[in-house]
Structures are given as C-alpha cells and as structure tokens.
Copies of this chain bind each other. A is one copy, B any other.
Amino acid sequence: MRRPVSDEARTTIHDVAARAGVSIATVSKALNGNGRMMAETRRRVLEAAQALNFRPNALARGLHSKRSFAVGLLTDDVYGRFALPVMAGVSEGLIDHGVSVFLCTVEDNHDHAQSHLDAMLEKQVDGIIVTGKRVDKLLPVDVQGLPVPVVHVMSDGPADQVSFRPDEAQGAALAVRHLIAGGRRRIAHVTGPERFRVARERASTWQQTLEEAGLPAPQPGPMFGRWSEAWGHEAVATLWSLPLPHPDALFCGNDQIARGVIDSLRERGVNVPADVAVVGFDNWEIVANETRPPLSSVDMNLREMGRQAGLTLLAMINGEEVAPGIKALPCTLRVRQSSGGPAARAD
C-alpha cells in the first residue's frame, strides 16, 4: 500500500492565497473572520479554501496560540465498565469546541502512566482529565503541579483540584425511598467490600434513610462482601437461614450482586417483586435487562458526568475560575420490574 502522505504535500494557506490571488494574511483573516476586507475578497478566499479542501494545520496554529485544542484522558479502567461512558461524555462535550481527547489507559503501572503523561505534556495538551474505576484509589502517577488544569472524574483528586463524582448518598437514598414507597418495610442491604468507600457510603445512607422513614433498625446490618454475583447468592443464603423474618426488599451495592440475589431468590421460589423487591446500583444495562425479572437500578449518569467534567476543564483552560473540591452529581433511578415497575415492552 502506498503511503499517500508523502505523495503530495498537504495544502497550506499559501496555496489558498495563490488561488484567491491574495496574501496569506488575508486568507487567515478571511477564514477566521478577523480584519477588514471587501465582502468580495472574503468570498473569493472562502471559495478557494473550499475548492482546495484546505484545513489549517493545528500544529502551527497551536504553536502560535499556545493552545493545542487537545486534552488528555488518563484512566486505569481497562475494562471500560465505568470509564467508557465517561470518555464518551467527555469527547462528546468537547468536540463541539474543536477539542480532541487523547486516551491513555495506564492500569497500575507507574512507569507506563508517567510516560503517557509525559507524552501528553509534550504534545501540549491544554488540560488533563483523570478517571479511575475506584473512587478511593488514585492513579499511580502524580498529577499535581502540572502546567495545565486537571479535573478528576469518578475518583477524588487532591483537595486543591476539581473532582466530579456521583452523589452516592443521594443515589442510595433514591433506591431506598423507592422501596419504602412501594410498601417495603424490611429492606436489607448487600454490597461490596467494606474497604471501598462507595460501599460504606451506600450502606450508611441505606441505614440513615430507613431511620428517617421511622423503620426499625435493619437486622442484620449492611452485608459487606464482594462485588460479584456469587456474593449475592451467598448473602441470600445467609439471610434466608437467619432466625429473623425474611426481608421484603433488597438494596444491592451493584448490579452483579443484585443479579446473584435475584437468581438465588428465584431458585428458592421467592417471587420478585411480589415477595421481595430488588434494586441494584450502576444500571449496567446489559445486566439489568437480562435478570429475570429485569432489574431496577440506580444510574450514576456517567456520560453526563463526563460531559460536565469536559466542559469544566474547558472553562478552566479558558481562564475561568473554578472552585476546587468535589462536585457530586445526582443519580437517577431506573425502575424496572424487580421493584414493581411495569413489564418491559416486548423486544
């Protein structure tokens, strides 16, 4: 395959100037809407640019303006479960402003992360977005003291930087209140490892929301385990073997646990949602839609979060003041049948 790039030089502003019969300055001014010139001249330039399919070289433009119109996105979520919606949101929010996004997946390798970061800084990125799969685990690279603004998404950055994350408490409360509103009174909570901050937050909100509703303190307390289906099975086995009245609802720390819970309940002959309602967290469509019945779940609106993070970074790049600290974005609840929602439309 021939390498087309070397065959012909890309068209430059000089080509356009020659074709329009003006100087390169006039072309630049016509294209950027600056300067003064006769409407006719402007038209001729635009026409020539169009005819030659001229694209201004962003490298040269960036060299002059000290803006590259590119930002870097650093993530350790190679699996993409959380990172990709965020990325899509960032990219979507920025493309309208002509800003492109460098993607860097770094896993847990410090050297790898550092070389990605160096490469981006060399390419003069205007800003950097850092996103992780765990809120309370930072990327293996230092992003302080960088010459460009930094925004964190899904993981809390240093206190003097800007971070976006879902409002875990609000999301959890949404789920619990929904269950209470559905008439449930004995709402258990099965979630991931206690060392995850999100697990602790969701659990304490669950407890608090029940209290606020005047419901008795839940027995047993929050069930910390793993983020897996298997743990959902185990948790149901435990709950159903305790000498306590069975729960009439389960709020699960993520959708995989919820799936395990629903499967276990069905296998025990417990009807969902008639006997027990189930609500998950993450609204991972591919899981939530395939449980039987489909799973109600809290959606963290990752894409929107990415969009806002991108636009915020852009504002910072443009010199606007943005207060540092954590911005918690509201979650929404997607109600499906597992908590009494209407049956899904046939597909």
Contacts and interface: CB of A to CB of B under 8 A. Distances in A.
A154 B329 CA distance: 35
Contact of A290 (B62, B120, B228, B267): B228
A160 B66 CA distance: 39
14 contacts: A1-B322, A3-B316, A55-B118, A57-B124, A58-B123, A59-B60, A70-B102, A91-B116, A95-B104, A100-B104, A100-B116, A228-B290, A229-B290, A263-B263
A160 B4 CA distance: 13
B56 A122 contact: yes
B69 A92 contact: no
A68 interface: yes
A23 interface: no
Interface string A106-124: 0000001001101111111
Given A102-B103, A148-B5, A59 B56 contact: no
A5 B147 contact: yes
A180 interface: no
Contacts of A33: none
A323 interface: yes
List the 7 shortest-distance A-B pairs measured between CB atoms, nearest first: A80-B84, A80-B80, A103-B103, A58-B123, A58-B122, A229-B290, A88-B105
A147 B121 CA distance: 26
B4 A73 contact: no
A62 to B, nearest CB: 5
A119 B92 contact: no
A237 interface: no
Contact of A57 (B1, B8, B120, B122): B122
B146 A1 contact: no
Given A4-B147, A116-B95, A119-B95, A103 B87 contact: yes
A149 interface: yes
A319 interface: yes
Nearest to A9: B66
A187 interface: no
A267 B83 CA distance: 35
B59 A146 contact: no
A220 interface: no
A149 B103 contact: no
A230 B68 contact: no
A312 B78 CA distance: 22
A75 B4 CA distance: 23
A6 interface: yes
A10 interface: yes
Most buried by B among A2, A10, A60, A95: A95
A212 B109 CA distance: 46
B1 A321 contact: yes
B10 A149 contact: no
Contacts of A88: 78, 105
A337 interface: no
Contacts of A316: 1, 3
B120 A105 contact: no
Contacts of A119: 69, 95, 98-100
